[in-house]
């Protein structure tokens, strides 16, 4: 994780088994060696055992609602009688 530029203290490592459902929704007895994950962040630390808890602990990004909407343009059409129509996704 460190080699690709992430701080290991801010990334939750959760071993799971999708085939058996281990550590996905509730703690598994098959992974007794795993004591849980812990994440350090500015807004307070988070910890847990399951993948669901790790996903729930992700903070949503702040949205700049006071700024203008930015939309990537896909194409611009020039329609006779109507004008230029920008199309975005």
The whole-number pLDDT of residue 89 equals 78
Q: CA 30 → CA 23, 26, 27, 46, 76, distances in Å? A: 9, 12, 9, 23, 56
pLDDT, tens digit (0-9, with 9 covering 90-100), for 38-51:
999 888 899 999 99
The whole-number pLDDT of residue 88 equals 86
Check: pTM over 0.85? Answer yes or no: no
């Amino acid at each position: 994780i460190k080699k690709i530029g992430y701080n290991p203290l801010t990334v939750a490592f959760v071993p799971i088994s999708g085939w058996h459902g281990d550590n996905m929704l509730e703690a598994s007895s098959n992974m007794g060696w795993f004591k849980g994950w812990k994440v350090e962040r500015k807004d307070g630390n988070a910890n847990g055992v399951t993948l669901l808890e790790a996903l729930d602990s992700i903070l949503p990004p702040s949205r700049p609602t006071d700024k203008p909407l930015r939309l990537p343009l896909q194409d611009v059409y020039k329609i006779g009688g109507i004008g230029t129509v920008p199309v975005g996704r």
